[in-house]
A and B are shown apart, each in its own frame.
Chain A
């Protein structure tokens, strides 16, 4: 009798263990749900929603439910550091989707030693180094590559000269310095007519824009945040320069620009890496199906970035689970396997959000296209352009 009870108990324990084992894929997403960067927090919601979509439509990944924890880093370094440790040691996340450049830079050596796959929202080239930072992945071209894409577009359209305006901080300076020193501008047959630096908290750029007007370039690329782009375009209109002359980076694809500047923003162009929400692409059908049963917090290109990241992370996790014949019990081995599978992703279809992605270089895609404000809305103009 005792042996029978022990047998039943053992079977129950094993069955329980197997159940837990099958449901244990933890993914951690943190964004700026509240805080200064909340305008673009669709990225965090998009990633979370994709995993939830998999749970609802496919029973998770290979039959294993994904537990996605969405946390608010509030764009505060201490909060993000805390969340990272929670994700690694308490939640046993197999993949982390983190937020600010500052946090990723401060955590990069720990990400290495924890050996946890990390999808960063940053486009800073400092955190892109497949050799020395093998666990950090990015979701698109770096700021430098975005600038090169703009220059390629200019060269393809027969332009000859470019002026670069940038803020006087590292976000403004660093990418411009890298591109300038690389000789890419000259290789494309272009002339860098001038580089104009301005204070990152500028309120008036009339003098600088009068200088631009006297140079009369074919393109003015602005490497700055949206509040500064607003000042640039406002003062450009003041001195009689059309918005069509100016182009910003991927984070300037902000509705605030057409909303605040109305007609003065018409023609302004930005780098667009991800298709807009509502585009006629296959991924949008999945999003619409998800949206029919669930609320969608943000309906913008940043949400699409999050959805793309969800697809990429899920694909790597799926491959690792398939290879192991189930969810590995050892989280260290599971993370290592997911990293390897992430790096092995080749031409993965992301439903048209971007062209198919390959993660050997830890970026997924190095392509983007140009989007232009037409009638108060961003409209993609032209096809995808490669940075390399």
Chain B
């Protein structure tokens, strides 16, 4: 991502944050829910999409972030300190979760992360002085850089800001040597070793960075919901995040955001459609079914994710527009005016 693109992303984030100021509470809630989910999905995408390490412990890692941020916030820390603390703690726990990745690969590692998810869930219930057990930790609103953040609109602005910073960070990361090492490991660990890459260390970096971002998302979740309870970070949340990454597009920043939009907004859309046609009661029972069905359809017909579908559609649209402008000339719009090369 060039400096110009970074400025564009930041400008878009500022515009989006300003736009949320015009929304009602429900609209602002949806915006920050999507933004937090997109941050979490981006974290998981770094691990799965760019580094090839499947993880089913993401929901619990968000929980670690939520409890850490909640405890720090309740202790009087500024939200920025609480979020960074949540990121640091979750990064460390994520490294621990990733340790089996040094010995296991693929589905075997996936199962190991599943075990980590279960262990963390159990710890959330057990470590009562820190988590308040099954009843959950109530979280007081914390100021951000001394400014009060209490409304849904304010939380939406903060969540958009965090998402933008994470998206820029991931984009920059993928241009560094470390980012490129992630890609080599994803494609072949054997080749990576042959190239002299320290596979173990590189994987742990991926877990650390992914965990840090998951911690940020978890921390935001804590401040927005005002409670961190074990039931909010169960395996179903991990599955939701894996679904976001797959539906949105593996190894894509846009895919993480689009996937989060899809997973967060689809149930609500189905619910509203059901209410429109007067079958809301039945819809609540079948909306998970609709959700699952759509994911299966995506996996069959668009395995590269919604982001890929969107970019392909955009390219086709541009080509179609170009053809309409010059029916005889089938070259892309960018090539118009150039002299065609002669065949050798």
Does A89 contact B25, Cβ atoms closer than 8 Å? yes
Does A169 contact B29, Cβ atoms closer than 8 Å? no
Interface SS of chain B: helix, strand, loop or mixed?
Answer: helix
How would residues 32 to 69 of chain A score, 1 for a CB under 8 Å from any chain B CB and 0 otherwise?
Answer: 01100000000000000000000000000000000000
A82-B29 CB under 8 A given contacts A72-B284, A77-B227, A77-B231: yes
In chain B, positions 1-58 with a C-beta closer than 8 Å to chain A are 24-26, 29-30, 33
| Closest beta carbon of chain A to B222's beta carbon, Å | 10
A101-109, A330-338, A372-380 - the one binding chain B: A101-109
Pick the contact of B285: A33, A85, A171 (CB < 8 A). A33
In chain B, positions 272-318 with a C-beta closer than 8 Å to chain A are 280-281, 284-285, 288
Does A90 contact B136, Cβ atoms closer than 8 Å? no
Does B281 contact A102, Cβ atoms closer than 8 Å? no
Does A89 contact B24, Cβ atoms closer than 8 Å? yes
Cα separation A89 to B232 with both chains bound (whole Å): 24
Does B138 contact A106, Cβ atoms closer than 8 Å? yes
B127-135, B196-204, B250-258 - the one binding chain A: B127-135
How would residues 192 to 220 of chain B score, 1 for a CB under 8 Å from any chain A CB and 0 otherwise?
Answer: 00000000000000000000000000000
Does B138 contact A105, Cβ atoms closer than 8 Å? yes
Specify which chain B residues have a CB less than 8 angstroms from the CB of A174 in the assembled complex.
135
Does A78 contact B229, Cβ atoms closer than 8 Å? no
Cα separation A169 to B231 with both chains bound (whole Å): 13
Does A169 contact B125, Cβ atoms closer than 8 Å? yes
| Closest beta carbon of chain A to B236's beta carbon, Å | 9
Q: Decide if B226 is an interface residue (CB 8 Å cutoff).
A: yes
Specify which chain A residues have a CB less than 8 angstroms from the CB of B78 in the assembled complex.
none
Q: Decide if A200 is an interface residue (CB 8 Å cutoff).
A: yes
Specify which chain A residues have a CB less than 8 angstroms from the CB of B271 in the assembled complex.
71
Q: Decide if B189 is an interface residue (CB 8 Å cutoff).
A: no
Does B26 contact A33, Cβ atoms closer than 8 Å? no
- A32's nearest neighbour on chain B, judged by CB, is B284
Cα separation A378 to B292 with both chains bound (whole Å): 40
Q: Decide if B268 is an interface residue (CB 8 Å cutoff).
A: yes
Kindly state the interface size class of chain A when it binds its partner.
20 to 34
A77-B229 CB under 8 A given contacts A70-B280, A85-B25: yes
Does A90 contact B284, Cβ atoms closer than 8 Å? no
Q: Decide if A26 is an interface residue (CB 8 Å cutoff).
A: no
Q: Decide if A323 is an interface residue (CB 8 Å cutoff).
A: no
In chain A, positions 73-88 with a C-beta closer than 8 Å to chain B are 74-78, 81-82, 85-86, 88
| Closest beta carbon of chain B to A317's beta carbon, Å | 23
In chain B, positions 60-115 with a C-beta closer than 8 Å to chain A are none
Cα separation A78 to B271 with both chains bound (whole Å): 15
Does B136 contact A105, Cβ atoms closer than 8 Å? yes
| Closest beta carbon of chain B to A33's beta carbon, Å | 5
Does A82 contact B284, Cβ atoms closer than 8 Å? no
Does A85 contact B26, Cβ atoms closer than 8 Å? yes
In chain B, positions 127-149 with a C-beta closer than 8 Å to chain A are 132-136, 138
Q: Decide if A383 is an interface residue (CB 8 Å cutoff).
A: no
Cα separation A79 to B60 with both chains bound (whole Å): 18
Cα separation A40 to B231 with both chains bound (whole Å): 19
Cα separation A88 to B227 with both chains bound (whole Å): 20
- A100's nearest neighbour on chain B, judged by CB, is B231
Residues of B within 8 A of A (CB): 24-26, 29-30, 33, 125, 132-136, 138, 152, 225-227, 229, 231-232, 268, 271, 280-281, 284-285, 288
Given contacts A33-B284, A107-B226, 15 further A-B contacts (CB under 8 A): A76-B232, A78-B232, A81-B225, A82-B26, A82-B30, A85-B26, A86-B26, A102-B231, A105-B136, A106-B227, A110-B226, A126-B135, A169-B125, A169-B134, A169-B135
14 contacting pairs across A/B (C-beta < 8 A): A34-B285, A71-B271, A77-B225, A78-B33, A82-B30, A82-B268, A101-B135, A102-B232, A106-B225, A106-B227, A126-B135, A169-B134, A170-B134, A170-B135
CB-based closest 7 A-B pairs: A72-B284, A170-B135, A106-B227, A169-B134, A89-B25, A106-B226, A85-B26
